[in-house]
Structure 1
Amino acid sequence: MSSRKMILLLKNIDCASKIESEVKKIDGVLNSSVNFVSSKLEVEIDKSKNDEIIIDSIKGIIKKVEPNINIVEDNKVDSEVGKEEKYKRCQIGSLIVGSIIFFLAMMLNLSPREEFILFLVSYILLGGDVVIKAISNIFKGNIFDENFLMSVATIGAFAIKQYAEGVAVMLFYKIGENFQSYAVNKSRKSISSLMDIRPDYANLKANNETIRVSPQDVKISDIIIVKAGEKIPLDGDVIKGKSMLNTSALTGESVPVKVEEGSSVLSGSINNNGVLEIKVSKIFEESTVSKILNLVENASSNKAETENFITRFAKYYTPIVVIIAIGLAIIPPLLLKNNLWSDWIYRSLVFLVVSCPCALVISIPLGFFSGIGTASKNGLLIKGSNYLESLSNVETVVFDKTGTLTKGVFKVTKINNVDVSKEELLEYAAYAEYYSNHPIGISIVKAYGKEIDKNNIKDYNEISGHGLSVIIKNKKILAGNSKLMNKEKIDHNEVTETGTVVHIAVDSKYYGYIIISDEIKTDSKKAIKGLRKLGVKKLVMLTGDSKLVAQNVAKELNLDDVESELLPDEKVEKVEKLYKEKSSRGTLVFVGDGINDAPALVVADVGVAMGGLGSDAAIEAADVVIMNDEPSKLIDGINIAQLTEKIVWQNIILALSIKFIVLFLGAIGFANMWQAVFADVGVTLIAVINSIRIMKYNNTSN
């Protein structure tokens, strides 16, 4: 079924879970997801359905669920800002005037009638909008929300002549709501600032002039100029100038990177000094900065199990508490003698005030998004809170070798020729590997160092897990490992030297072999040591390289297990076997280059692409993308995941504990409405502030 996506901006959003679930029920909507932090509703729509009808239905449902929400299309955001500011000023004015009247009613010596009038006026100014929303929602079938609970509780307080307490509850509720709104907005801005890499403009060079334009208006092969202190707006190659780049927003690395003519640069980097002329290689929509921002903004669509649990919990929790509150108001006075109705009604009102689960509904998505934002700042793109949650309980980590634990920068270290000169053997190998993108092939072409006439190359064919065959000047050249030689039944030397061996055969005759060596990354040992310290039980390497090379690398890094000479499908089999061996709660992570290892990345609980920034295949296949070549970044990912999980569960335990304690104390008459307001709004505020602590995580990899 073909589909398209649409995004709406939701101003003044409160409980996102209600909107998600209701929008999903609309005919023609395949999926919906609310990003609470960016206030965006992303809807996947069936292409065969009418857009306008679905959009009207969505707007109708949103207004029904939360009437206070302003639904804004992206091109109308600016025009809504003035209206929103005016509404906020009116709200603050009503809060101030209502508070003054409330305190006058408390302090002045008034008659009961005068006191009632002042309290009523104060109540209308403070909570009139809450009551109106509650009534409106009842007619729309949305009963059990915070507006309804607060309205019933405070009107109930008036009904039993607890005027001061009824107004006080509404006053502190509104103050708490304002603080809560401020805290959430501040946290949204803080998280957004972590990803403040979007370029505002590009300096386009045209006809010997420089024109400031939008990055979206720049085309591939255009020349842009980036001055000192400016962000690089688009990916490209430096054609003039040299400088030091600050890439910390992309990779989490604080050390500047030197670039000069011929260097590739990524959008989102900051030019520290010098002036660079850059030839653009990707349009803005496909640039690194766009990929990062899209991944982070859309990460909330893949929700963690904890988030889904809270959504289900909130659906049943509030109605159950309301039913208990009604029972508390009616049953005890009927069954127990000498019990006042007003006393038990008051206790039930306390129940209603404390029952709203917004502390959980707001703080938990905020906590996960804080974790995702913090990971991005530290050089990891995590594609959903479900993957962040999985990273908190890693039990097995499986590594690819080349480009993951080793540098992937190969160098020809030995040429062993048979019946031909070394120069001729290297020439055959270079021609054979000319079209290969593998680091081994590139190193052979580099070692040859002469110009290659590609017109002499025909029928190039890669043989997965073996090597390749190609026709060069009417000769069939085979270049690959021992498996390829055995497959073609060509007698060859068994090599026991360290390094990757490429055997060469011409027209079925063995001509010798070339050894290419790769270095272990200096960061790999740090990664293995750090993962063990975090409690990861099993560290395994799977590679298609030779047994001798694989064992040497595994021994130097002190890995638990190693499997070598594996084809891509055999890697998947090994990953599946390791998956069955882990515990039910443990997570298996596969770390690879994101292209050759795509099948294994998909099979693992969490697939991690190494150095995948700018690679479409890596970003597509992986659940987590490490934005540089350092495997130790995985340590940061696990630390951030564990901190996020810890804070999320702190919020759950804090909110539920205080609510249940106050519910119990309210039921037996030891809690009043003031304490109930704290158990609702106060706990929400504490949980929100606690959630943004995740952003104070200190990078351990630097």
Structure 2
Amino acid sequence: METNRVFKLVLMGLNCANCANKIETRINHLEGVEEATLNFSTNQLTVLIKDTVNKDEIVGGIKQIVKQLEPDVVVKESETAIGPHNMCHHGECGGDHDEKVKTRSFFVENIALLLGVFIFIIASLFAIEEPVKIALYVVSYLLIGGEVLQTALRNIFRGEIFDENFLMMVATVGAFAIGEYPEAIAVMLFYEIGELFQGYAVNRSRKSISSLLDIRADHANLVTKSGVKEVVPEAVLIGEWIVVKPGERIPLDGEVIEGECYLDTSALTGESVPRLVRVGDEVLAGCINTNALITVRVTKVAGESTVARILELVENASSKKAETEKFITKFARIYTPVVVGLAVLLAVVPTMMGADLSTWLYRALSFLVVSCPCALVVSIPLGFFAGLGGASKQGVLIKGGNYLEALNHVETVVFDKTGTLTAGVFKVTQMNPMGMDETQFLEFAAYAESQSTHPIATSIVEAYRQVIDSTRITAYEEIAGHGIKATVDGKQVLIGNKKLMTQAHLESEEVETIGTVIHLAVNGVYAGYMVISDEIKENAKMAVTKLKQQGIKRIVMLTGDHVGVANKVAEELLVDEVYAELLPDQKVEHVEAILGHKSKDKHVVFVGDGMNDAPVLARADIGVAMGGIGSDAAIEAADVVLMEDDPLALCKAIEQAKQTRAILYQNIIFALGIKVLVMILVACGLATMWAAVFADVGVTLLAVINSTRALKLRK
């Protein structure tokens, strides 16, 4: 969240990933800035400043840096979380700037480019005297490539040399110098057209990614004395009432006070089955009302709602860069100067050995064109952002590209039992009465336990599902460590553990089961037993099986429960190891022991319910919180939050990580492979500048489009 030391800015119209890296580097060197992260995928800059500096001065410095490097980019305060309205779609940015740009047509925006093309066609098709033809070529070149030349020269004077503008300037000016006028102009034209398409593709990708995550309602139907009034969600206060109509998205967290409906919660949890909510049930912002009018009492303001927290989490996730992203940025800084050096050698060495200067200079210039690493610098961050967005649509919030990448290298998964593999709620799961039917058996048990507040007693009363008439209970006594003795309808009822039956000199059944066994006796006669257990979640066994199929070598279960219960659960779920009767600090010790024996470059994941497992979540390589949709503790402590209370979602997270990695590797191999191939062909004289431009712009375009595939998880 934004504090007095952290603020956010949006850089509207920033479509150059290389420029984004330069801006980020320069801002990090500003005095008073502790850390600055520019997320190219959202154009959002997050700045952490020192307590002693003035924010306005830092913002002024940032605007100056942006103006120097990218004069057309508009710097604005970030008002909301991620959403399509914060994206700049091919120069169409928010606010006044947005309206000005929208009113300008494509032709007006690109008048210089179109005029240059017109002059180029005249010079190429008509028989004109050589000096005039050359002059027309020069004018055409300046009109088409003027912006590239201007940017390159400006960057050179600022010490920013090795970028795509510099490479295109050197290559095309060199082509002019050796008399290749039409090709120099054609290459610049192709480059500019490619940049237009690339900018369009990047912004379309941003829009498609961000639109998946924009799950906020744009209005709320506020109930007032004069009737229902449509307002922005930010205007609604806690305690006020709102009406949510069928088909509308719930704008704020609250409690249903009138009506019932089915909610589509897929935007938050990834769960496709609608959920029924009634009076008294909690509803969360971002869910869609599918069928009936409901009235909701607001319990959280817009900025603190579940949807706001989720959007903030996803937005910040992209600022935590994965090692692959960091490597590509460093690689680009080294790669481009090295290739420029090779191009110089390609021009100089053969010429010194007597070869034709113009031939080898042309090859060297073509070599320069292909060298720009744009395909990687643009597509890798977009790929990670798409992967994070795709995971969120599966109900999995991953707090950074670094964690998304780390999920590819998981060796051990450690599960907490209660609330993670089991539901964490006691229920009567089995009844074995003797000498009476189940209804009568449960009635005696419920009345005897009705005065107790113990979770097991509560579960028995809930299973009875009828109102308790307390006048039927004439005596009640709790026997510590054993159970309860009560008089119901004049009959003495004993209910408790086996020790209580032994104390009353009654023979009772020996039962081996996962849950807690409760025995019952009426008027000195043993009446049978029931099992109270914490139910194993429906998909828990499937999750364990699938994790093993995904290559996880070791699955461990930790619990504070009794050894017998823990072993039964572990046996049913096919868990490899189980450690029971542990206190929270002992869970940390066990995880540390597992961390100490893991393989190099492999990770240990701990999955807990996010409430009392914060120390272990923080200690593991990757902490995963279960069912954290409404839990601040889970969101704070965990690196990954599974919004739907389902252990199978962890498998989806790992699948998403593997798919994203595969797509990024495809981009890296494809981009570098094509570039190296074209470089070799150019050096051998088998490819022209046209092929070089395709290897730069065309490959970038294809890589960007490929990155967006990470948005959708393959089935």
Q: TM-score, normalised by structure 1?
A: 0.85
* Aligned residue in 1 for 2:43: 39
Query: 217, 232, 243: which is aligned to 1:214?
Result: 232
In structure 2, the residue corresponding to 1:530 is in which secondary structure? helix
State the distance in 1 between where 2:347 and 2:667 align.
30
State the distance in 2 between where 1:398 and 1:88 align.
56
* Aligned residue in 2 for 1:475: none
Q: Which amino acid aligns with 2:178?
A: I
Q: Which amino acid aligns with 1:213?
A: V
Report how far residue 111 of structure 1 moved.
2.7
Preserved contact between residue 223 and residue 280 of structure 1 (Cα < 8 Å): yes
Map 1:644-683; keep pairs closer than 5 Å: 644-683=660-699
Q: 1:129 to 1:451 in 2, by over 3 A?
A: farther
In structure 2, the residue corresponding to 1:52 is in which secondary structure? helix
* Aligned residue in 2 for 1:281: 299
State the distance in 2 between where 1:54 and 1:441 align.
61
Q: 1:56 to 1:695 in 2, by over 3 A?
A: same
State the distance in 1 between where 2:641 and 2:161 align.
43
* Aligned residue in 1 for 2:8: 7
In structure 2, the residue corresponding to 1:628 is in which secondary structure? coil
Preserved contact between residue 33 and residue 300 of structure 1 (Cα < 8 Å): no
* Aligned residue in 1 for 2:525: none
Q: Which moved more, 1:277-286 or 1:59-68?
A: 59-68
* Aligned residue in 1 for 2:29: 25
Identity score, percent: 53
Report how far residue 153 of structure 1 moved.
1.1
Preserved contact between residue 446 and residue 461 of structure 2 (Cα < 8 Å): no
* Aligned residue in 2 for 1:476: none
Query: 62, 72, 77: which is aligned to 2:76?
Result: 72
C-alpha offsets along residues 465-492 of structure 1, whole Å, 9 cap, x if unaligned?
x9xxxxxxxxxxxxxx9xxxxxxxxxxx
Q: Which amino acid aligns with 2:70?
A: E
Preserved contact between residue 398 and residue 640 of structure 2 (Cα < 8 Å): yes
* Aligned residue in 1 for 2:98: 81
State the distance in 2 between where 1:66 and 1:316 align.
22
C-alpha offsets along residues 18-64 of structure 1, whole Å, 9 cap, x if unaligned?
22222111111111111212211111112220122211221222233
Preserved contact between residue 415 and residue 607 of structure 2 (Cα < 8 Å): yes
In structure 1, the residue corresponding to 2:131 is in which secondary structure? helix
Q: Which amino acid aligns with 2:687?
A: A
State the distance in 1 between where 2:238 and 2:77 align.
30
State the distance in 2 between where 1:270 and 1:11 align.
31
Q: 1:285 to 1:410 in 2, by over 3 A?
A: same
Preserved contact between residue 514 and residue 568 of structure 2 (Cα < 8 Å): no
Query: 401, 418, 429: which is aligned to 1:385?
Result: 401
Report how far residue 424 of structure 1 moved.
11
Preserved contact between residue 405 and residue 657 of structure 2 (Cα < 8 Å): yes
Q: Which moved more, 1:64-73 or 1:576-585?
A: 64-73
Preserved contact between residue 35 and residue 297 of structure 1 (Cα < 8 Å): no
Query: 301, 306, 323: which is aligned to 2:319?
Result: 301
* Aligned residue in 2 for 1:55: 59
Report how far residue 422 of structure 1 moved.
8.1
* Aligned residue in 1 for 2:486: none
* Aligned residue in 1 for 2:637: 621
Q: Which amino acid aligns with 2:12?
A: K
Report how far residue 695 of structure 1 moved.
1.9
C-alpha offsets along residues 643-695 of structure 1, whole Å, 9 cap, x if unaligned?
10011111111111222222233233333211111111111001101101112
* Aligned residue in 2 for 1:97: 115
Q: Which amino acid aligns with 2:643?
A: M
State the distance in 1 between where 2:253 and 2:570 align.
36
Q: 1:352 to 1:414 in 2, by over 3 A?
A: closer
Q: Which amino acid aligns with 1:38?
A: T
Query: 404, 412, 416: which is aligned to 1:396?
Result: 412
State the distance in 1 between where 2:624 and 2:640 align.
5
Structure 1 position 256 matched with structure 2 position 257: no
State the distance in 1 between where 2:457 and 2:698 align.
63
In structure 1, the residue corresponding to 2:662 is in which secondary structure? helix
Preserved contact between residue 287 and residue 614 of structure 1 (Cα < 8 Å): no
Preserved contact between residue 659 and residue 710 of structure 2 (Cα < 8 Å): yes
* Aligned residue in 1 for 2:158: 140
Q: Which moved more, 1:65-74 or 1:272-281?
A: 65-74
Q: 1:89 to 1:498 in 2, by over 3 A?
A: farther
Structure 1 position 694 matched with structure 2 position 698: no
Query: 546, 553, 560: which is aligned to 1:530?
Result: 546
* Aligned residue in 2 for 1:226: 244
State the distance in 1 between where 2:122 and 2:589 align.
76
Q: Which amino acid aligns with 1:130?
A: V
Preserved contact between residue 205 and residue 708 of structure 2 (Cα < 8 Å): yes
* Aligned residue in 2 for 1:462: none
* Aligned residue in 2 for 1:247: 265
State the distance in 1 between where 2:451 and 2:235 align.
46
Map 1:193-592; keep pairs closer than 5 Å: 193-207=211-225, 209-334=227-352, 336-337=353-354, 339-411=355-427, 426=449, 430=453, 443=459, 498=513, 516-592=532-608
Preserved contact between residue 302 and residue 385 of structure 1 (Cα < 8 Å): yes
Specify every segment of 5 or more residues in structure 2 that has no aligned partner in the other structure, as ranges.
Answer: 80-92, 432-443, 471-480, 482-496, 498-507, 519-528
Q: Which amino acid aligns with 2:179?
A: K
Q: TM-score, normalised by structure 2?
A: 0.84
Report how far residue 298 of structure 1 moved.
1.3
Q: Which amino acid aligns with 1:119?
A: Y
C-alpha offsets along residues 368-412 of structure 1, whole Å, 9 cap, x if unaligned?
000000111111111100111111222211111111111122136
Preserved contact between residue 250 and residue 627 of structure 1 (Cα < 8 Å): yes
Q: How many aligned positions are there?
A: 639
Q: 1:107 to 1:551 in 2, by over 3 A?
A: same
Across the aligned residues of Structure 1 and Structure 2, the Cα RMSD in angstroms comes to 3.0
Q: Which amino acid aligns with 1:243?
A: C
Map 1:170-181; keep pairs closer than 5 Å: 170-181=188-199
